[in-house]
Amino acid sequence: MNLNTQPDPARHAVAILGGGAAGALTAIRLLRAAPRPLRIALVEARPEPGRGLAYGTRHDEHLLNVPAGKMSGFAEAPDDFLDYALAQGNPDGLPREALAKAFLPRRLYGDYLQTRLAEARAASSSTLDVIADTAVALERSAAGWQVALASGAPLRADAVVIAAGNTPRPLPARGADALPAGRIVAAWDADAVHGIGADEAVAIVGSGLSMADSVLSLERGGHRGPIHVLSRHAIPPLPHAPFARLAEVDVDALAGLPLRGRVAFLRGRVRDAAAQGLPWQAVMEALRPHGPRLWRTLSAADQRRFLRHAVRHWDVHRHRVAAPVAAMLQRLRAEGRLSLHRTRLQRVAALADGRLRLEGRAADGRLLQLDVDRVVNATGVEMRVQFMGNPLLDDLLGRGLAVPGPHAIGLDSLADGDDDGALVAADGRAQPDLHVLGSLRIGTLWESLAIPELRVQAATVAARLLARIGAG
């Protein structure tokens, strides 16, 4: 079907459901490149589209995990974010080359996305309707799509882009739902983390990037009490490191190997890099553009092995933190203020004195028991779509408009061809007027969270939809 073939002033050409980074980048692409004036809807419940969970923080201690020079929202303009940061005054007075290597506040990146969206909106002949609402259901009709919003307001569109963003995992412990309000704090809620008392004992469940953000917030707020980090692996994020050039990695050879062979291959490349004076980070960075290909060339059995045994080791090497953040974590451990506990949390309960008791069991069977004042949930992003508690996604699955992705992760979508990103229905057919991008494509692509991946997906989806509109 061709898009926008029937004139209808009440209908949108494209409805983007979700206004975080992925949704904002898609809207910008549509506004900039539309072949004729179009009406576009961007549905986002948060008051500031473009930020989402990742860039919604207003606390400057929360830094980007990628240097500024690699954070452009547009692959064809690789210095765009760097130029924006320089235009904001560069308060530290860094030379351009040094600023490109710096890890800037995530707040600034949210400002950047909002600015570029506003500029595209002002310069375009198309109309962008930003709708402060939440999509809860989607139904195909003869005229396109009917989007049900939480407010009950009608929304009709010829094509839909689902950019639902990240869904934080609930605390994986019995008794968590019965705790008094405020005793469990979400790592994403930086204001709440800042509000933790200076002398309170804190348990952070999860040892990834959200844990690092939480510790940063505690430090910035003058926290003095003990911090306990609990996770199955107890491996904190590893740091970025400077390197003169990327390591040489034969990606074709790597993609042809099974999982065990890939591990051995990469260890060899790390040794080769070290002999050339390059850190292991230079090897991982060389792999970055090839993440989806490397995932898709693994057999289903090897993908399952990766998820069971290797995913945490991949994450700490692939998703790194700025060196000063890693140094802070090391310092707090050396001072005895930060402790890592390798354990699987099983139960949490309120004690009579108002404190919380956490119980977990290590891989060797030993029981861990901790009494703390507050728990921070830093368990990361929920990947299993059935457990996200998102009414829209539940509706899509119920109607057969979507199916879970590989290994029940995210939603299934095409990963190449003219309809890259098209959602796959229960009958196995792709839907070229219903696209998905971002974290919901993790099962299909694996690497689908960071800006370098999101900007490509947004550009691809926008181009596909505009080509169909142009054909109409």
Among 362, 377, 392, the domain boundary falls at 377
Q: Are residues 157 and 230 in the same domain?
A: no
Q: Are residues 346 and 295 in the same domain?
A: no
Among 318, 337, 354, the domain boundary falls at 318
Q: Are residues 295 and 423 in the same domain?
A: no
Domain containing residue 205: 176-238+321-377
Give me 229's structure tokens.
């980090």
The rounded distance, in Å, linking the Cα atoms of 42 and 288 is 30
Q: Are residues 335 and 423 in the same domain?
A: no
**pLDDT for the residue 9:** 52
Q: Is residue 91 part of a domain?
A: no
Q: Are residues 197 and 264 in the same domain?
A: no
Sheet order of strands, 367-372 included:
344-350, 356-361, 367-372
Q: Is residue 361 part of a domain?
A: yes
Give the whole-number percent of the chain exceeding pLDDT 70.
97
In the 8-state DSSP scheme, what is residue 168? B
What pLDDT band is residue 5 in, cutting at 50, 70 and 90?
very low
What pLDDT band is residue 7 in, cutting at 50, 70 and 90?
very low
Average pLDDT, the chain: 92
Give me 284's structure tokens.
């991982």
pTM of this structure? 0.92
Q: Are residues 279 and 223 in the same domain?
A: no
What is the per-residue DSSP string for 299-312?
A: -HHHHHHIIIIIHH
Q: Are residues 440 and 466 in the same domain?
A: yes
Q: Are residues 189 and 298 in the same domain?
A: no
- pLDDT reading at 89 higher than 90: no
What is the per-residue DSSP string for 318-385?
A: HS-B-HHHHHHHHHHHHTTSEEEEE-EEEEEEE-TTS-EEEEEE-TTS-EEEEEESEEEE---B--BG
What average pLDDT does the segment 427-451 reach? 94
Q: Are residues 265 and 291 in the same domain?
A: yes
**pLDDT for the residue 56:** 86
Q: Is residue 82 part of a domain?
A: no
Q: Is residue 284 part of a domain?
A: yes
The rounded distance, in Å, linking the Cα atoms of 56 and 107 is 7
Q: Is residue 88 part of a domain?
A: no
Burial 136-165 (b: 16+ CB within 10 A, else e): bbbeeeeebbebbbeeeeebbbbbbbbbbb
Q: Is residue 302 part of a domain?
A: yes
Q: Are residues 23 and 119 in the same domain?
A: yes
What pLDDT band is residue 2 in, cutting at 50, 70 and 90?
very low
Largest CA distance in the chain: 68
Q: Is residue 2 part of a domain?
A: no
Question: Which long-range contacts (C-beta less than 8 Å, at least 24 apart) are formed by 92-100?
Answer: 99/68, 99/69, 100/67, 100/68, 100/69
Q: Are residues 211 and 140 in the same domain?
A: no
Q: Are residues 289 and 391 in the same domain?
A: no
Q: Could you tell me how far CA 29 lies from the centroid of its own chain? A: 20
Q: Is residue 300 part of a domain?
A: yes
The rounded distance, in Å, linking the Cα atoms of 398 and 403 is 9
**pLDDT for the residue 469:** 80
Q: What is the CATH number of the domain that holds 335?
A: 3.50.50.60
**pLDDT for the residue 363:** 79
Among 294, 318, 342, the domain boundary falls at 318
Domain count, the chain: 3
- Shortest CA distance to 328 belongs to which of 104, 99, 62? 62
pLDDT in tens, 162-203: 999 888 888 989 999 888 888 999 999 989 999 999 999 999
